Amino acid sequence: MIIRWKHLIVLVVLAPLLGLAVGWSGLMSVRASTGHWAVTDWFLHWVMRNSVSARAVATGDVPPLNDPGLVPGAAGHFETGCAVCHGSPAQPRPDSVLAMLPPPPDLKVVVPEWTDAELFEIVKHGVRFTGMPAWPVQSRDDEVWSMVAFLRKLPDMDAQAYIRASGLHGLGHAGEVSPLPITCESCHAEAKLNDGSDIPRLAGQSEAYLLNSLKAYAEKTRPSGIMQVAVGALSVEGLPKLAAYYANQTPAARAGAVHDPILIEKGRILAEQGRRADKIPACLSCHDKADANPAYPKLSGQNSAYLQNQLALFQSGGRGGSEYHHLMSGAAKELTADDISAVAAYFSAR
C-alpha cells in the first residue's frame, strides 16, 4: 500500500512536468489549417454548451422579445459588429472567416438551438477561445436583450427583411444584394422611427446636446455597446459636423402617438409641477424652455419607448453623459414605473 502511494505521488509530480515539457517542445500543433480531431471538437463544444447552460439564468427585467422596437438598433449593430464573422441574410460569411478554427457559425442555423437566456449569456459574456467577444458594455442588459430579440427573428429573415431591419441600402443585380456601408441614417432616419422605437429622434435636437452625447460615447462615459461601436468608427474631428447636421434638420411630421388621455394628463402634471413630496422637479423647469440650457435635450416629440428606457437608466445609475447627467439621476430617483410611462407619453404626444 505504501508503494502504491509513492507511485501516485510520483505520478502527480511528473504529470504536470511532462505536460510542460510537451508544450515547450513545440510538438503540439496550433495550426488552424489542420482542424481539430473529431473527439476534440466534440469535447470543446460539449464544455461550451454545459458552461452556457449552467450560467444562463435570466436576471432583472426581461423585455417582451416580440417588441418590434427592440430590433432596429440591434440589427444595425449586428451589421457593423457581427456580420463580418457570422455573415447575414444579405451576404454570406467570407472564405477568410470560414478558415478560422472554430469557424463562426451561421446564426440562422444555430440560434434555434439555444434558449433566450442562453443567447443572452453568449451575447453578453462572449465565448473564450473562439473569437466571440463580450458585449462592449456589461452594464447595458437592455441592449443585450435587444440583440436576443433580433437573433430570434434572424432565422426567418430573407435579404430584403434584413436590409430593412439593419438599415442597409442598395440592391445588386440579378437578385443579388450589394449593401452599402451602414450610416447613422440606417438607424436614425425619421422614416424608420415611431413612438415604440428605442432609437431616438435626432432631427432638430440641440446641437450642444448632440455633440456632448457623441463625445460621451467616444470617451465611454455614456455606456452603450451599440453607440460606442458606431462612434468608434468616426473621427473626433467629424463629431461637430455630425451634431450640426442633425441639429439643422427639421423633424418630420408624423401622426401623433396614441396614449391614454389619463396617462398623458398625469404626465403633464409631473412635467409642469413635479411632485414636491418626493423631491421630483418639474421636467419643464429645465427642458424645452425658450431659455433652456442648450446642453439639455429637447423632449417634446421624442419617442415614448426611448424616453422610458432613458429614464429607467437614469434611475438605475446606468446612464452617463455630459457633466449634467447627475442632475437627471437625482430627478429620476423617486419616479415610479407609472410616472415614467406617464411622462414619456406626455412628451411624445406634445
Say which CATH number the domain at 261 has: 1.10.760.10
Tens-digit pLDDT profile for residues 280-303 = 999 999 999 989 999 999 999 999
Instruction: Assess if residue 283 is contained within a domain.
Output: yes
The whole-chain average pLDDT of the chain stands at 89
Instruction: Tell me phi and psi for residue 234, to 5 degrees.
Output: -105, 155
The mean per-residue pLDDT over the stretch 253-262 comes to 78
Residue 209, pLDDT > 80, answer yes
166, 188, 215: which is the final residue of a domain? 166
pLDDT value for 178:
42
At 5, the pLDDT band (50, 70, 90 cuts) reads confident
> CA angle 80-119-152, nearest 5°?
70
pLDDT band at 132 (very low <50, low <70, confident <90, very high): very high
Share of the chain above pLDDT 70, in %: 93
Mean pLDDT of 163-175: 62
**Confidence (pLDDT) at 2:** 62
Q: Can you give the pLDDT at residue 259?
A: 81
Model confidence at 170, in pLDDT bands (50, 70, 90)? very low
Summarised one tens digit per residue, pLDDT across range 234-243 is 888 989 999 9
Determine the straight-line distance between the first and last CA of the chain, rounded to whole angstroms.
86
233 pLDDT exceeds 90? no
Residue 192's pLDDT is: 82
Judge contact between 68 and 146, C-beta under 8 A: no
Say whether pLDDT at 117 is over 80.
Answer: yes
Considering the domain boundaries, does residue 312 fall inside one? yes
Last residue of a domain, one of 166, 197, 213: 166
Q: What is the average pLDDT across 231-254?
A: 89
Query: 170 or 9: whose pLDDT is higher?
Result: 9
State the pLDDT at residue 272.
Answer: 96
Is 72 within a domain?
yes
The structure's pTM equals 0.88
Residue 3 has a pLDDT of: 66
Domain assignment of residue 52, yes or no: no
- What's the domain range around 104? 64-166
State the total domains in the chain: 2
Q: Answer yes or no: is pLDDT of 11 > 70.
A: yes
Q: How confident is the model at residue 181 (pLDDT cuts 50, 70, 90)?
A: very low
Tell me the per-residue pLDDT of 59-93, one tens digit each, with 9 for 90 and over. Answer: 667 889 999 889 999 999 998 889 999 999 998 98
Residue where a domain terminates, one of 137, 166, 195: 166
Q: 155-160, long-range: CB within 8 Å, 24+ apart, which pairs?
A: 155/107, 155/108, 155/109, 155/111, 155/112, 157/89, 157/108, 158/89, 159/89, 159/90
118-135: average pLDDT: 94
In a domain, 200, yes or no: no
Confidence (pLDDT) at 175: 44
Q: What is the pLDDT of residue 218?
A: 93
- Assess if residue 2 is contained within a domain: no
13-22, 124-133, 146-155, 244-253: lowest mean pLDDT where?
Answer: 13-22
The yes-or-no verdict on residue 174 having pLDDT over 60 is: no
Long-range contacts of 116-122 (CB under 8 A, 24+ apart): 116/58, 116/62, 116/65, 116/148, 116/152, 117/56, 117/57, 117/58, 118/52, 118/53, 118/56, 119/148, 119/151, 119/152, 120/56, 120/58, 120/144, 120/145, 120/148, 121/52, 121/55, 121/56, 122/52
Place 172 in a pLDDT band, splitting at 50, 70 and 90. very low
- pLDDT at position 283 is 96
- 324 occurs within a structural domain: yes
| pLDDT score of 279 more than 70 | yes
What is the three-state SS of 14-81?
HHHHHHHHHHHHCCCCCCHHHCCCHHHHHHHHHHHHHHHHHHCCCCCCCCCCCCHHHHHHHHHHHHHH
Residue 173: predicted pLDDT = 39
Q: Is residue 41 part of a domain?
A: no
Residue 328: its pLDDT value, please? 92
**Reported confidence tier of residue 176, pLDDT bands at 50, 70, 90:** very low
Distances (CA, A) of 283 to 249, 330, 331: 24, 12, 9
Percent of the chain with pLDDT over 90: 60
